[in-house]
Amino acid sequence: MNITVIGTGYVGLVTGACFSKMGNKVYCVDIVEEKIEGLKNNILPIFEPHLGSLVKSSQERGDLIFTTDIKEALDDTNIIFIAVGTPMAEDGSANLDYIFSAASDIANNITKDSLVVIKSTVPVGTGEKVKEHINNILKENNSQVKISMASNPEFLKEGHAIEDCLHPDRVVIGAEEKEVFETLKDLYSQFVLNHDRFVLMDIKSSEMTKYVANAMLATKISFMNEIANICEVTGADVQNVRRGIGSDKRIGYDFIYAGCGYGGSCFPKDVQALISTAQSNGYEPKILANVELVNKNQKMVLVNKVVDRFGEDLTGLTFAVWGLAFKPGTDDVREATSLVVISELIKRGAKIKAYDPQATEEFIRTIDDEYLDSIEFAKGRYEIIEGSDALILITEWKEFRNPDFDYFAETMNQKVIFDGRNIYYKKILNNKGFELYQIGC
């Protein structure tokens, strides 16, 4: 099939690359010329394992074409995916400006009947509004072209997006016409050869499904972090509790690890957007509001532990920070706990030495400029250990899991570790003379 994907951000680029891997001809369209020129030269705007090699091989075969010319793309396709960003507005709702801008571009450039599929995460009812928007422009242009609409939300995990896209555990399709279901099932058939993993529904339910999936996962994280805080004040160990409840198949082990808060582009934005959707329809969602509140407070847990150990005035102290990305396997620092922890420590007079395998440049672009003079960035994990008064682990990259603690003992000013992801064993570190502070244990 010939496909157009509008938007070359995280979702659009991964989607386009994976469709092209299956032999489809894919046009990836973006209005940012610099980004498109970079992609033509295999320079990716994001870090995602295996994406670079996939983009390169697909371009070499001629199956993946990057362009700023939407008319060129639409002339050669009749399945159009909208995969632009829906950033959070000031009131917590989803900003749909890019969605409707893409819809306008489609309406002003299509010359044949087409299927428009919204891949972006959008509030319930957006598909209906986009269809109306496109049809109004077509009518103004005296065009006889007809469009069909569908919703096909993505469920990609950053750091595992290629695997998730090529081997999805389910493909959710929202549509109103049988022919649309059949077209999209045909498109995805090569991704689900072994099992029928299609979940078919109406468009509004499909739009809601994406928000609810992320809200449920965020709720599990915040719930477990709340339990961790209760464990700390009662003397229980959240690691034991996790093992005890995770063995219940109704609960499972996924997303019940206590830590220092979730971040990224999806959970914070989508929880807020779902809250906004509920409120705009006259319903006050109490659980979701507290999921966000717990997560906001959780990002201060490491800061509070540092203050409890060293005092409110951190002047003269240097802290080594391992991990800046909101999770391993990505360079994404949106809503990352590192932004909160580092800025709060600097406010109290601390100096920071930081290392992350992928996210340093994004972190520098994201954090307020006023803090940068107090941060030293390193190219290796051990460069920042010498002379530090404590190590703070925020992101659990694999290279942090089994470090040389003997080197720590020899070079750190004080043998203190704050483990924000509970990856170290207290007994081992205590035997080496370290103070280890974790979450909920």
> What is the value of pTM for the model shown?
0.92
Dihedral of alpha carbons 272, 278, 279, 283, sign? negative
Task: Quote the percentage of the chain above a pLDDT of 90.
Answer: 96
3-17 mean pLDDT:
97
Mean pLDDT calculated for residue range 254-268? 94
Per-residue pLDDT at 90 exceeds 90: no
Q: Predicted confidence band at 406 (pLDDT cuts at 50, 70, 90)?
A: very high
Question: Which pLDDT belongs to residue 192?
Answer: 87
196 pLDDT above the threshold of 90: no
Average of per-residue pLDDT values in the chain: 96
Distances from the Cα of 246 to the Cα of 204, 233, 238, 254, 291, angstroms? 33, 22, 12, 8, 20
For residues 407, 411, 412 and 417, what is the CA-based torsion angle, rounded to 10 degrees?
A: -10
Q: What is the pLDDT of residues 283-331, one digit of tens each?
A: 999 999 999 999 999 999 999 999 999 999 999 999 999 999 999 999 9
Q: Quick: pLDDT tens for 13-42.
A: 999 999 999 999 999 999 999 999 999 999
- Which pair of structure tokens corresponds to residue 309? 């150990």
Q: Describe the crossing of helices 238-246 and 203-234 by its angle, rounded to 10 degrees.
A: 140
Set out the domains of the chain in order of their start, with CATH numbers: 2-201 (3.40.50.720), 211-297 (1.10.1040.10), 299-437 (3.40.50.720)
Beta strands in 61-127 (DSSP E): 64-67, 79-82, 114-118
pLDDT for the residue 198: 94
Q: Is 266 a catalytic residue?
A: yes
Helix (H) or strand (E) holding 283: none
Of residues 18, 28, 165, 266, which has the active-site annotation?
266
The answer, yes or no, to whether residue 194 has pLDDT greater than 80, is no
- How confident is the model over 323-360, as pLDDT tens digits? 999 999 999 999 999 999 999 999 999 999 999 999 99
Residue 63 predicted with pLDDT over 80: yes
List 64's β-bridge partners, or say none.
26
183 in the Ramachandran plot: left (φ > 0), alpha (ψ -120 to 50) or beta? Answer: alpha
